[in-house]
Amino acid sequence: MSASALSGAQQRAHVGVIVPAVNRTCEEQFHRHAPPELGIHMMRARIAGKWSAPVAKLEPEITLATQVLAECSPDLMVYNCTASSMKEGPEGEKRILDIMEKAAGIRSISTSAAVGDAFKSFGIKSVVVITPYANNDEILFYLDKIGIKAVGNVALALPASKFVSVTPEEWHDLAVKHDTKDADAIFFSCAATTQIDAVAPTEKTLGKPVVNSNQAVLWSVLRHLRDKLGETATPTVGSLMRKRA
Protein backbone atom coordinates (compact mmCIF):
# COMPACT_ATOMS: atom_id res chain seq x y z
CA MET A 1 0.00 0.00 0.00
CA SER A 2 1.39 3.44 -0.93
CA ALA A 3 1.28 6.60 1.12
CA SER A 4 -1.35 7.98 -1.25
CA ALA A 5 -3.81 5.22 -0.22
CA LEU A 6 -4.84 7.24 2.85
CA SER A 7 -6.26 10.74 2.89
CA GLY A 8 -4.36 13.58 4.52
CA ALA A 9 -6.76 13.48 7.44
CA GLN A 10 -6.00 9.78 8.00
CA GLN A 11 -2.22 10.15 7.83
CA ARG A 12 -0.48 10.42 11.19
CA ALA A 13 2.63 12.36 10.14
CA HIS A 14 3.76 14.57 7.27
CA VAL A 15 7.17 15.19 5.74
CA GLY A 16 8.16 17.96 3.35
CA VAL A 17 10.95 17.10 0.91
CA ILE A 18 13.01 19.56 -1.15
CA VAL A 19 14.48 17.90 -4.26
CA PRO A 20 16.52 19.26 -7.17
CA ALA A 21 14.39 20.49 -10.05
CA VAL A 22 15.94 17.83 -12.30
CA ASN A 23 14.85 14.91 -10.08
CA ARG A 24 12.33 12.59 -11.81
CA THR A 25 12.29 9.64 -9.41
CA CYS A 26 11.92 10.80 -5.83
CA GLU A 27 8.12 11.22 -5.66
CA GLU A 28 7.33 7.80 -7.08
CA GLN A 29 9.87 6.01 -4.89
CA PHE A 30 8.85 7.72 -1.66
CA HIS A 31 5.16 7.11 -2.27
CA ARG A 32 5.79 3.49 -3.24
CA HIS A 33 8.01 2.58 -0.31
CA ALA A 34 6.73 4.76 2.53
CA PRO A 35 4.05 3.52 4.93
CA PRO A 36 0.53 4.77 4.11
CA GLU A 37 0.36 6.66 7.41
CA LEU A 38 3.07 9.07 6.20
CA GLY A 39 2.04 12.06 4.10
CA ILE A 40 4.75 13.05 1.61
CA HIS A 41 4.93 16.54 0.12
CA MET A 42 7.54 17.52 -2.49
CA MET A 43 9.03 20.86 -3.50
CA ARG A 44 11.44 21.38 -6.38
CA ALA A 45 14.34 23.81 -6.16
CA ARG A 46 17.21 24.87 -8.42
CA ILE A 47 20.00 23.43 -6.26
CA ALA A 48 21.85 20.91 -8.44
CA GLY A 49 22.91 20.17 -12.01
CA LYS A 50 23.33 23.40 -13.96
CA TRP A 51 22.17 25.29 -10.86
CA SER A 52 24.91 23.86 -8.64
CA ALA A 53 26.57 26.58 -6.57
CA PRO A 54 28.12 27.18 -3.15
CA VAL A 55 25.64 27.05 -0.28
CA ALA A 56 25.95 30.81 0.24
CA LYS A 57 24.67 31.44 -3.29
CA LEU A 58 21.91 28.85 -2.93
CA GLU A 59 20.55 30.44 0.25
CA PRO A 60 17.76 32.48 -1.47
CA GLU A 61 16.56 29.40 -3.39
CA ILE A 62 16.69 27.15 -0.32
CA THR A 63 14.88 29.78 1.74
CA LEU A 64 12.08 30.20 -0.80
CA ALA A 65 11.61 26.44 -1.28
CA THR A 66 11.51 25.93 2.48
CA GLN A 67 9.01 28.70 3.06
CA VAL A 68 6.68 27.47 0.31
CA LEU A 69 6.87 23.87 1.51
CA ALA A 70 6.27 24.92 5.10
CA GLU A 71 2.81 26.14 4.10
CA CYS A 72 1.53 22.55 4.32
CA SER A 73 2.79 22.31 7.94
CA PRO A 74 4.99 19.20 7.75
CA ASP A 75 6.28 17.63 10.95
CA LEU A 76 9.75 17.31 9.41
CA MET A 77 11.56 18.75 6.41
CA VAL A 78 14.23 17.12 4.26
CA TYR A 79 16.87 18.60 1.97
CA ASN A 80 17.14 15.63 -0.38
CA CYS A 81 20.15 16.07 -2.63
CA THR A 82 23.22 14.00 -1.89
CA ALA A 83 25.80 15.92 -3.90
CA SER A 84 24.82 19.42 -2.83
CA SER A 85 24.42 18.47 0.83
CA MET A 86 27.85 16.80 0.84
CA LYS A 87 29.89 19.17 -1.31
CA GLU A 88 31.03 21.48 1.49
CA GLY A 89 31.39 18.78 4.11
CA PRO A 90 29.49 18.59 7.41
CA GLU A 91 29.94 22.35 7.86
CA GLY A 92 28.17 23.07 4.56
CA GLU A 93 25.42 20.64 5.45
CA LYS A 94 24.90 22.45 8.76
CA ARG A 95 24.62 25.76 6.90
CA ILE A 96 21.86 24.29 4.70
CA LEU A 97 19.90 23.04 7.69
CA ASP A 98 20.38 26.35 9.49
CA ILE A 99 18.92 28.16 6.46
CA MET A 100 15.90 25.85 6.44
CA GLU A 101 15.22 26.04 10.15
CA LYS A 102 15.57 29.83 10.09
CA ALA A 103 13.15 30.04 7.15
CA ALA A 104 10.46 27.79 8.60
CA GLY A 105 11.17 26.92 12.22
CA ILE A 106 10.60 23.24 11.43
CA ARG A 107 13.17 20.56 12.29
CA SER A 108 15.09 19.56 9.18
CA ILE A 109 17.41 16.79 8.02
CA SER A 110 19.58 16.24 4.94
CA THR A 111 20.46 13.33 2.70
CA SER A 112 24.09 13.44 3.79
CA ALA A 113 23.24 13.18 7.49
CA ALA A 114 20.81 10.33 6.79
CA VAL A 115 23.51 8.44 4.89
CA GLY A 116 26.04 9.04 7.67
CA ASP A 117 23.58 7.78 10.28
CA ALA A 118 22.91 4.70 8.15
CA PHE A 119 26.63 3.93 8.04
CA LYS A 120 26.84 4.33 11.82
CA SER A 121 23.91 1.98 12.37
CA PHE A 122 25.83 -0.78 10.60
CA GLY A 123 29.26 0.15 11.96
CA ILE A 124 30.43 0.79 8.40
CA LYS A 125 33.94 2.23 7.99
CA SER A 126 34.65 1.55 4.31
CA VAL A 127 32.51 1.62 1.17
CA VAL A 128 32.50 1.28 -2.58
CA VAL A 129 30.93 4.48 -3.93
CA ILE A 130 28.86 4.10 -7.10
CA THR A 131 27.18 7.12 -8.70
CA PRO A 132 25.97 8.57 -12.01
CA TYR A 133 27.98 11.77 -11.42
CA ALA A 134 30.76 13.27 -13.53
CA ASN A 135 33.08 12.55 -10.61
CA ASN A 136 32.73 11.67 -6.95
CA ASP A 137 35.09 14.26 -5.50
CA GLU A 138 32.44 15.97 -3.36
CA ILE A 139 31.10 12.65 -2.10
CA LEU A 140 34.56 11.40 -1.18
CA PHE A 141 35.33 14.69 0.57
CA TYR A 142 32.25 14.38 2.80
CA LEU A 143 32.81 10.70 3.52
CA ASP A 144 36.40 11.38 4.55
CA LYS A 145 35.21 14.11 6.92
CA ILE A 146 32.85 11.67 8.70
CA GLY A 147 35.44 8.91 8.90
CA ILE A 148 34.33 6.71 5.99
CA LYS A 149 37.02 5.36 3.66
CA ALA A 150 36.18 4.90 -0.02
CA VAL A 151 37.89 1.69 -1.16
CA GLY A 152 36.15 1.82 -4.53
CA ASN A 153 35.09 4.80 -6.63
CA VAL A 154 32.78 4.50 -9.65
CA ALA A 155 31.33 7.56 -11.41
CA LEU A 156 29.40 6.95 -14.65
CA ALA A 157 29.74 10.56 -15.87
CA LEU A 158 26.17 10.73 -17.15
CA PRO A 159 24.24 13.91 -17.95
CA ALA A 160 21.55 14.54 -15.34
CA SER A 161 18.80 13.72 -17.84
CA LYS A 162 20.22 10.20 -18.16
CA PHE A 163 20.54 9.34 -14.46
CA VAL A 164 17.20 7.53 -14.50
CA SER A 165 18.13 5.51 -17.59
CA VAL A 166 20.39 3.17 -15.59
CA THR A 167 18.26 0.20 -14.53
CA PRO A 168 18.27 -1.43 -11.08
CA GLU A 169 19.83 -4.50 -12.70
CA GLU A 170 22.67 -2.38 -14.07
CA TRP A 171 23.30 -0.80 -10.66
CA HIS A 172 23.36 -4.30 -9.16
CA ASP A 173 25.86 -5.48 -11.75
CA LEU A 174 28.11 -2.46 -11.18
CA ALA A 175 28.19 -3.23 -7.46
CA VAL A 176 29.04 -6.87 -8.09
CA LYS A 177 31.77 -5.90 -10.55
CA HIS A 178 33.43 -3.30 -8.30
CA ASP A 179 32.92 -4.84 -4.87
CA THR A 180 36.03 -5.61 -2.87
CA LYS A 181 36.65 -7.59 0.30
CA ASP A 182 37.93 -4.36 1.88
CA ALA A 183 34.49 -2.75 1.57
CA ASP A 184 32.09 -3.02 4.50
CA ALA A 185 29.25 -1.86 2.25
CA ILE A 186 28.14 -0.49 -1.10
CA PHE A 187 27.04 3.14 -1.27
CA PHE A 188 24.72 3.95 -4.18
CA SER A 189 24.80 7.75 -4.09
CA CYS A 190 22.10 9.87 -5.77
CA ALA A 191 18.46 10.72 -5.10
CA ALA A 192 17.58 10.90 -8.81
CA THR A 193 18.14 7.29 -9.89
CA THR A 194 16.60 3.81 -9.78
CA GLN A 195 19.23 2.68 -7.27
CA ILE A 196 16.72 2.09 -4.46
CA ASP A 197 15.38 -0.94 -6.32
CA ALA A 198 18.88 -2.41 -6.57
CA VAL A 199 19.47 -2.35 -2.81
CA ALA A 200 17.85 -5.62 -1.76
CA PRO A 201 19.07 -7.66 -4.78
CA THR A 202 22.62 -6.37 -4.29
CA GLU A 203 22.58 -7.24 -0.59
CA LYS A 204 21.38 -10.73 -1.46
CA THR A 205 24.19 -11.22 -3.98
CA LEU A 206 27.05 -9.70 -1.99
CA GLY A 207 25.98 -10.51 1.56
CA LYS A 208 26.82 -7.04 2.84
CA PRO A 209 24.85 -3.84 3.55
CA VAL A 210 23.87 -1.52 0.73
CA VAL A 211 22.96 2.12 1.39
CA ASN A 212 21.24 4.40 -1.13
CA SER A 213 20.36 8.07 -0.78
CA ASN A 214 16.55 7.81 -1.00
CA GLN A 215 16.51 4.64 1.10
CA ALA A 216 18.56 6.33 3.84
CA VAL A 217 16.30 9.38 3.80
CA LEU A 218 13.15 7.27 4.15
CA TRP A 219 14.74 5.35 7.01
CA SER A 220 15.78 8.57 8.73
CA VAL A 221 12.34 10.14 8.27
CA LEU A 222 10.68 7.12 9.89
CA ARG A 223 13.10 7.30 12.83
CA HIS A 224 12.49 11.02 13.34
CA LEU A 225 8.71 10.57 13.15
CA ARG A 226 8.57 7.37 15.19
CA ASP A 227 6.53 9.07 17.90
CA LYS A 228 3.73 9.66 15.38
CA LEU A 229 4.09 6.64 13.09
CA GLY A 230 5.03 3.91 15.57
CA GLU A 231 7.43 1.02 15.05
CA THR A 232 5.34 -1.07 12.66
CA ALA A 233 5.14 1.45 9.81
CA THR A 234 8.42 0.42 8.19
CA PRO A 235 9.05 -0.30 4.51
CA THR A 236 11.33 -3.15 3.45
CA VAL A 237 14.01 -1.69 1.20
CA GLY A 238 17.07 -3.61 2.24
CA SER A 239 18.41 -4.48 5.67
CA LEU A 240 18.71 -0.81 6.73
CA MET A 241 14.94 -0.61 7.11
CA ARG A 242 15.05 -3.25 9.84
CA LYS A 243 17.33 -1.03 11.94
CA ARG A 244 15.51 0.85 14.68
CA ALA A 245 18.34 2.59 16.53
Taking each helix axis from N to C end, the angle separating 213-224 and 26-33, rounded to the nearest 10 degrees, works out to: 50
User: How far apart, in whole angstroms, are the C-alpha atoms of residue 191 and residue 212?
Assistant: 8
Three-class secondary structure assignment of the chain = CCHHHCCCCCCCEEEEEEEECCCCCHHHHHHHHCCCCEEEEEEEECCCHHHCCCHHHHHHHHHHHHHHHHHHCCCEEEECCHHHHHCCHHHHHHHHHHHHHHHHCCCEEEHHHHHHHHHHHHCCCEEEEEECCCCCHHHHHHHHHCCCEEEEEEECCCCHHHHHHCCHHHHHHHHHHHCCCCCCEEEECCCCCCHHHHHHHHHHHHCCCEEEHHHHHHHHHHHHCHHHHCCCCCCCCCHHHHCCC
What is the reported pLDDT for 141?
97
pLDDT less than 70: residues of the chain: 1-9, 232-234, 244-245
User: How far apart, in whole angstroms, are the C-alpha atoms of residue 146 and residue 46?
Assistant: 27
> Residue 147: which of 162, 164, 132, 126 has the closest Cα?
126
Q: Count the Cβ atoms, other than its own, within 10 Å of residue 115.
A: 29
What is the reported pLDDT for 63?
98
What is the reported pLDDT for 230?
84
Query: Tens of pLDDT along 20-76?
Result: 999 999 999 999 999 999 999 999 999 998 899 999 999 999 999 999 999 999 999
The answer regarding whether domain 3-113+215-233 maps to CATH 3.40.50.12500 reads yes
Rg of the chain (C-alpha set)? 17
What is the reported pLDDT for 236?
76
What is the reported pLDDT for 2?
47
Q: Count the Cβ atoms, other than its own, within 10 Å of residue 63.
A: 16
Domain coordinates in residue numbering, the chain: 3-113+215-233, 117-212
What is the reported pLDDT for 80?
98
Q: Quick one: how far is CA 87 from the chain centroid?
A: 14
Q: What does CATH list as the number for 117-212?
A: 3.40.50.12500
The answer to whether domain 3-113+215-233 and domain 117-212 are alike in fold is yes
